[in-house]
Structure 1
Amino acid sequence: MGKPVVVIVGRPNVGKSTLFNRLVGKGVAIVEEEPGVTRDRLYREVEWCGREFVLVDTGGVVESPESPLEVAIRRQVEQALEEADLVLFVVDYKTGVTAEDQAIASMLRRTGKPTLLVVNKVDKFDPPPVLSDFYALGLSTEPIPVSAAQGLNVGDLLDAVIDRLPPEDREEERPQAEAIAVAIVGRPNVGKSSLVNALLGEERVIVSDIPGTTRDAVDTFFTWEGQPYILIDTAGLRRRSRIKEEAERQSCLRARQALRRAHVAVLVLDGAEGVTMQDKRIAGLIEEAGRAVVIAVNKWDLVPSSRKDAPRYLEALRRELYFINYAPVVFTVAPEGFGVTQVLTEVERALANARRRVREQELWEVVEEAQLRNPPPRVKDKRLEIYRAYQVAVEPPVFLLQVNDPELMTPYYRKYLENQLRAAFDFTGTPIRFVLRRHKKRREKHV
């Protein structure tokens, strides 16, 4: 990306995510008193005094990781440190220096990375806080007191960050292609994080068999065949009745927010389990958001041989998800990389189609021919008449129809017109919207 990387590290529950949210300027990371809520690396761009950098939030480091999740979190932190230009080591002013803090300090000294020691949870600066105990961590940096929750002294911290960043590259910047934001969505444990890791070729997000491992919407930047991407790995969407804790509720909210800021959604299904009611609900959220969409049928290797007939499987899937039957379907085995690059190919195609603009004359020819071939049905002894058609928006494509009476448009005929447009133009992967406006003038010849 070209921007310096600043990584936040520390033991659990010292306020890393609160600091991350404060520096980013909005609630991105989930913040809760339960230790270990942040599990994956979160990436956001920050600007201060005209200087931009990428800020990374990481999970809490424990001194002796025992559970598979603790081991995975530590591995995530170590990978983040490898790409760091600067480290913000966060400690807790109220609890003082702990053995875990000492262990993390030792790890940071071995990396040789420039480090700022951030003493969080300092609620009062008059009189000045006593920070002498924190020099025992042996870091060649003066402790910087802050209150992330209250925003106290955060400006001074940002000043220190800017001072310690590597010099800016003043070479003439080349224009870059716009990054495609892709939200990876689906219910828990269908393989979303495995798909992200396969796309990246590294373990960027934690993968486990425990449903709900990913709690934040995790942004990851990468480039494929010259095209930059932002992958948003989201927590699995659950039914509301299944949400038992605040972190899970926030995870579902993050997934919905991810859809709003994504260009394309990749709906990941468990091929072995087939389409569930929850899959349908998530597909409905994507359609409602108006996002271009690609369906990834993951775990294709686990589908029984009796059902492993792709055309028949696809036909059944189309019936279940009929309301997004325009979405391309890719069969994948994420851990083996099977079908993974095809997902990106279809993502690019879906976005291009969502941004497609149809010339007015070509659009009207299709609409006029559709009416001649199949006139609108009568409703209360009146027939719908379409006088003009315009495309007024993209992402998704929106078509304005000037008609004699909008109430005469039936769902059947609306679908018929959509099918005619899809047959004439390539709108694979994107929804289509119609807006009807009453036109009182007599029908005019279209030119």
Structure 2
Amino acid sequence: MDERRRSTAEGVGLAAARERLADHLAPVDRTETLPVSTAVGRTLAAPVAARRPVPGFDQAVRDGFAVRAADTEGATERDPAALAVGSELDADTAVRVDAGRPLPEGADAVVGHEAVATVGTEPDLKTVDGGELTVTDPVEPGDGVRSTGADVAVDEEVLAAGDRIGPSDPGLCTAVGRTRVEVRQRPAVGIVPVGGALVGGDPGEGEVVETDGTTVAEFVEATGGKVVLRDPVEPDPYALRPAVERDLTKDLLVTVGGTGGGESDRIVDAIAELGDVLADGVALDPAGTTTLSVVRERPVVSIPGDPVAAFVATTRFVAPAVARLADREPPEPRTVGAELADSIESDRGVESVVPVELDGGGEDDGGSGGEGATPIASPVADEPLSTLARADGWVAVAADRERAAAGETVSVERWEATV
């Protein structure tokens, strides 16, 4: 192994490595204006203020009769107020109105059906103009009415800068007359797979389908980034350098593969010629050969090409970096408690992340056992790709420990809920 390449145990500690990378990350301040219907999940760059009130008119909040409150003053069951039912409101009249509809001119209250009685021989005089009803309970001005702007007044701020637009917000914005909003642009992330014989389509003899870049891309998109996934690049200095330089226009560059100690693992050498290496190896197993760099003020994260190691490096470095660029909280997995079936060994000073299968436990735990049962977490045998498909979660052994013992209750990370 090249002497420059440190072992996992000698790599930069996870927290220190993240801090070094964070020093070169700042939230993207570019903005764009989008239809609010397409902006769900985006972060507002400017507040949204109402252009019109909600409701836009004095509105009935219950089915009944619009009246002048003064015409019902003093009404009781023994001495009710008699009102004529009409289509226009005059003194001692009432106009039928449904919830959500505008109040007729001159009305200032709505009497509910339960507070009126009909007079006459018709079966339903309440619905017929020219009929008569009696009001047994008086109403005050504003009873049964939502006044103009009661929900939202003109120029009222309904969403603040920095808010993330949720699924219900397009309806709110449309209601107040704001169909377009100014949002922060998503950070652009270039993803460059590196490796000989990698292909993006059907493989020929001796070729391997590139999949790690797709895994990284899913995390980047879920964390608020905009992905440019490149075709695989041969691990040749003459190919690597232009591949890196091409994506220095992005907010973050992620290279996948080519970080090991083999003859074809040259990505770090190519980056070192262009910029500064912040951490050549980290105390993380797997993914100990992850390298962090900065080239022409652009942060670069180079992660291993092994599927499991790439997954771990993505959760520990790539996703948090994208979240910082997008000015979001870093992603966190859903976690469940489980009993460890077998011991997990680790080097002190190294965070070890192990894929596990869950057996038993309630549905909420992702297991197949009875409700409330504690699932059993069994380490998954390492295979090139199927490990990711078979893993129900991930157990991390902290850097200050050397093992997690069989029978120990551990926290299982479940990242599929995040992406």
Same fold by TM-score greater than 0.5: no
Tell me which interval the TM-score lies in, with the shorter structure as reference length.
under 0.3
With CA pairs under 8 Å and 6+ residues apart, which has the higher RCO, 1 or 2?
A: 2
TM-score by length of 2: 0.23
Q: Structure 1 or 2: larger strand share?
A: 2
Higher helix content, 1 or 2: 1
Larger radius of gyration: 2
